[in-house]
């Protein structure tokens, strides 16, 4: 495989599973040196460590088990990143955190304002908090990429998805405004909308099986989106040819969102 990202560094938040891990695999295969921040309990740690060990040139990467959604911890994490980078700069920052409430709007266990606040912060505002710290600490390369993941639920209602939908709408609004204000710094900001992908995050959604079945029926390419499909798009956006793509929501879903 061509090591065309060999001289580049990337930071992935939420890189131990799903889309984040698939992206880590893809970027590492192309030579990128990674800093992966993830959250895991003791029960999952051994399996996650094995996954990280399987990455190409695993000793070149830094893996940190910490809650990246806690803004109070960001300065400490920034110092760890600085120490690891030395005189190098980050080319890629990917926010791939899935941490939200999947309660309905009605009933005994309905969403509370606190549930909304926590979800919107973790999956939306926290993205901005990190970009703010990375820029103020001069950690980004002269040409860099900010990326995040959204979903069709950003505009399509689904029972139990209201808080996440609000968070995705926030994320996309931030993407547009960051694209405008960060462009003079040499940073492009884009958002990737994946189709329905069978990950741990999807499996937490109410009516998961029905959602999967429906997506298979309406996808023009007759399959679900795979994490590797999404990782491939991240890689393409890291190519020099993608340097003028800015402020976009890019779909990778086989045309699923058309139907």
Measured from the Cβ of residue 228, the count of other Cβ atoms closer than 10 Å reads: 13
Examine the pLDDT at 43 and tell me if it is beyond 80.
Answer: no
Residues 6+ apart with CB under 8 A from 259: 218, 219, 220
Render pLDDT for 166-224 as a digit per residue (tens, 0 to 9): 999 999 999 999 999 999 999 999 999 999 999 888 888 878 888 889 899 999 999 99
Examine the pLDDT at 9 and tell me if it is beyond 80.
Answer: yes
Long-range CB contacts (< 8 A, 24+ apart) of 54-63?
A: 55/24, 55/25, 55/28, 56/25, 56/28, 56/29, 56/31, 57/28, 57/31, 57/33, 58/28, 60/33, 60/34, 61/28, 61/33, 61/34, 61/35, 61/36, 62/34, 62/35, 62/36, 63/36, 63/38
Packing angle, helices 126-136 and 162-182, rounded to 10:
30
**CATH H-level superfamily of 9-258:** NAD(P)-binding Rossmann-like Domain (3.40.50.720)
Render pLDDT for 213-257 as a digit per residue (tens, 0 to 9): 989 999 999 999 999 999 999 999 999 999 999 999 999 999 999
Examine the pLDDT at 156 and tell me if it is beyond 90.
Answer: no
CB 90 within 8 A of CB 11: yes
Question: Tell me, what DSSP letter sits at residue 2?
Answer: -
Query: Which residue from 61, 55, 21 is spatially nearest to 38, judged by alpha carbons?
Result: 21
Percent of the chain having pLDDT more than 90? 83
Instruction: Give residue 41's pLDDT.
Output: 81
Of the listed ranges 4-13, 42-51, 111-120, the least confidently predicted one is: 42-51
Examine the pLDDT at 134 and tell me if it is beyond 90.
Answer: yes
Average pLDDT, the chain: 95
> What is the side-by-side order of every strand in the sheet holding 62-65?
62-65, 33-38, 9-13, 90-95, 140-150, 187-194, 249-252
When comparing pLDDT for 202 and 51, which is higher? 51
Instruction: Give residue 203's pLDDT.
Output: 87
Instruction: Give residue 257's pLDDT.
Output: 93
Examine the pLDDT at 83 and tell me if it is beyond 90.
Answer: yes
Domain ranges of the chain: 9-258
Long-range CB contacts (< 8 A, 24+ apart) of 173-178?
A: 174/124, 174/125, 174/127, 174/128, 175/148, 175/247, 175/249, 176/247, 178/128, 178/131, 178/146
Instruction: Give residue 228's pLDDT.
Output: 98
Instruction: Give residue 206's pLDDT.
Output: 78
Instruction: Give residue 44's pLDDT.
Output: 86
Render pLDDT for 65-79 as a digit per residue (tens, 0 to 9): 999 999 999 999 999
Examine the pLDDT at 20 and tell me if it is beyond 90.
Answer: yes
Render pLDDT for 118-131 as a digit per residue (tens, 0 to 9): 999 999 999 999 99
Q: What are the helix (H) ranges across the chain?
A: 18-29, 42-53, 74-85, 113-120, 126-136, 162-182, 200-203, 208-218, 227-238
Instruction: Give residue 242's pLDDT.
Output: 99
**What span, in angstroms and rounded, lies between the C-alpha atoms of 238 and 145?**
7
Instruction: Give residue 163's pLDDT.
Output: 95
Instruction: Give residue 208's pLDDT.
Output: 81
């Amino acid at each position: 495989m061509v090591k065309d990202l060999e001289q580049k560094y990337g930071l992935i938040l939420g890189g131990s599973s799903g889309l984040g891990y698939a992206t880590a695999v893809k970027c590492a295969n192309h030579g990128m040196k990674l800093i992966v921040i993830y959250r895991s309990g003791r029960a999952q740690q051994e399996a996650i460590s094995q996954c990280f060990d399987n990455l190409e040139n695993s000793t070149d990467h830094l893996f940190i088990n910490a809650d990246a959604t806690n803004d109070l911890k960001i300065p400490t994490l920034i110092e760890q990143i600085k120490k690891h980078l030395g005189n190098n700069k980050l080319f890629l920052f990917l926010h791939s955190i899935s941490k939200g409430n999947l309660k309905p709007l009605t009933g005994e266990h309905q969403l509370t304002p606190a549930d909304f606040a926590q979800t919107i912060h973790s999956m939306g505002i926290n993205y901005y908090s990190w970009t703010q710290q990375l820029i103020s600490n001069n950690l980004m390369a002269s040409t860099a990429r900010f990326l995040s993941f959204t979903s069709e639920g950003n505009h399509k209602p689904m029972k139990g998805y209201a808080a996440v939908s609000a968070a995705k709408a926030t994320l996309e609004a931030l993407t547009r405004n960051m694209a405008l204000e960060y462009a003079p710094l040499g940073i492009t900001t884009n958002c990737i909308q994946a189709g329905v992908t069978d990950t741990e995050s999807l499996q937490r959604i109410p009516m998961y099986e029905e959602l999967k079945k429906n997506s298979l029926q309406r996808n023009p390419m007759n399959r679900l989106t795979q994490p590797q499909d999404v990782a491939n798009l991240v890689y393409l956006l890291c190519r020099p040819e993608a340097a003028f793509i800015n402020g976009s929501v890019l779909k990778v879903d086989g045309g699923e969102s058309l139907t």
